[in-house]
Amino acid sequence: MDRKDVGILAMDIYFPPSCVQQEALEAHDGASKGKYTIGLGQDCMAFCSEVEDVISMSLTVVNSLLKKYKIDPKLIGRLEVGSETVIDKSKSIKTWLMQIFEESDNTDIEGVDSSNACYGGTAALLNCVNWVESNSWDGRYGLVVCTDSAVYAEGPARPTGGAAAIAMLIGPNAPISFESKYRASHMAHVYDFYKPDLASEYPVVDGKLSQTCYLMALDSCYRQFCNKYEKIAGKQFSISDAEYFVFHSPYNKLVQKSFARLYYNDFMRNCSYVDDDAKEKLQSFSNLTGEESYQSRDLEKASQQVAKHLYGIKVQPTTLLPKQIGNMYTASLYAALASVLYNKHDSLNGQRIVMFSYGSGLTSTMFSLRLNNGQHPFSLSNIGSVLGVTEKLQSRHETLPEKFVETLKLMEHRYGAKDFETSSDTSLLQPGTFYLTKVDSMYRRFYSQKPAEEIGGGKTKCCNGFANGH
Please give the residues from 109 up to 138 whose contact with its own copies meets the rule CB under 8 A.
109-117, 119-120, 123, 126-127, 129-131, 133-136
The HSE-up count of residue 285 (CA atoms within 13 Å, CB side) is 25
The answer to whether 319 touches 259, Cβ cutoff 8 Å, is no
Shortest CB 126 distance to its own copies, Å: 7
Q: Which of 23, 50, 206, 412 binds its own copies (CB under 8 A)?
A: 206
Shortest CB 192 distance to its own copies, Å: 9
- Closest CB to its own copies among 324 and 330? 330
| Among 80, 84, 201, 300, the one annotated catalytic | 84
* CA–CA distance, 250 with 260 (Å, rounded to integer): 16
φ, ψ of residue 10 in degrees (nearest 5): -155, 160
Rg (the chain; Cα; Å): 22
The answer to whether 285 touches 298, Cβ cutoff 8 Å, is yes
Shortest CB 54 distance to its own copies, Å: 12
* CA–CA distance, 231 with 226 (Å, rounded to integer): 8
Query: Quick one: residue 34, left, alpha or beta (phi over 0 = left, psi -120 to 50 = alpha)?
Result: left
Binding mask 363-402 for its own copies (x = CB under 8 A): x-x-------------------------------------
* CA–CA distance, 98 with 100 (Å, rounded to integer): 5
Stretch that binds its own copies, among 103-111, 153-161, 252-260, 301-309 (CB under 8 A): 103-111
Shortest CB 48 distance to its own copies, Å: 17
* CA–CA distance, 371 with 360 (Å, rounded to integer): 29
Does residue 210 have a known ligand-binding role? yes
* CA–CA distance, 169 with 73 (Å, rounded to integer): 12
Ranges within 211-250 binding its own copies (CB under 8 A): 220, 224
Stretch that binds its own copies, among 275-283, 344-352, 423-431, 462-470 (CB under 8 A): 462-470
Q: Which of 38, 75, 152, 180 binds its own copies (CB under 8 A)?
A: 180
Does residue 253 have a known ligand-binding role? yes
Shortest CB 33 distance to its own copies, Å: 32
Q: Which of 159, 162, 175, 361 binds its own copies (CB under 8 A)?
A: 361
CB neighbour list of residue 67: distance below 8 Å, 6 or more residues apart: 432
Stretch that binds its own copies, among 81-89, 168-176, 343-351, 394-402 (CB under 8 A): 81-89
Q: Under the criterion CB under 8 A, does residue 153 sit at the interface with its own copies?
A: no
Q: Is 243 a catalytic site residue?
A: no
Q: Under the criterion CB under 8 A, does residue 173 sit at the interface with its own copies?
A: no
Stretch that binds its own copies, among 180-188, 245-253, 320-328, 369-377 (CB under 8 A): 180-188
* CA–CA distance, 408 with 418 (Å, rounded to integer): 17
- Closest CB to its own copies among 138 and 154? 138
Stretch that binds its own copies, among 30-38, 62-70, 151-159, 441-449 (CB under 8 A): 441-449
* CA–CA distance, 100 with 196 (Å, rounded to integer): 32
Shortest CB 245 distance to its own copies, Å: 20
Stretch that binds its own copies, among 35-43, 86-94, 276-284, 448-456 (CB under 8 A): 86-94
Estimate to the nearest angstrom the gap between the alpha carbon of 263 and the chain centroid: 24
Q: Which of 1, 2, 30, 189 binds its own copies (CB under 8 A)?
A: 189
Largest CA distance in the chain: 73
The answer to whether 401 touches 422, Cβ cutoff 8 Å, is no
Helix 22-29 and helix 401-414, axial crossing angle in degrees, nearest 10: 80
Q: Is 102 a catalytic site residue?
A: no
- Closest CB to its own copies among 196 and 457? 196
Q: Which long-range contacts (CB under 8 A, 24 or more apart) does 342-350 make?
A: 342/384, 342/387, 342/389, 343/317, 344/244, 344/317, 345/380, 345/381, 345/383, 345/384, 346/380, 346/381, 346/384, 348/243, 348/373, 348/380, 349/373, 349/380
Q: Which of 194, 268, 288, 296 binds its own copies (CB under 8 A)?
A: 194
Q: Is 84 a catalytic site residue?
A: yes
* CA–CA distance, 128 with 293 (Å, rounded to integer): 37
Shortest CB 442 distance to its own copies, Å: 7
| Among 19, 118, 128, 226, the one annotated catalytic | 118
- Closest CB to its own copies among 180 and 379? 180
| Among 213, 221, 248, 300, the one annotated catalytic | 248
> Which of 331, 302, 336 is CA-nearest to residue 320?
336
User: Which amino acids are annotated as binding site for CoA, given as ranges?
Assistant: 210, 253, 257
Q: Which residues are catalytic?
A: 84, 118, 248
User: Which amino acids are annotated as binding site, given as ranges?
Assistant: 210, 253, 257
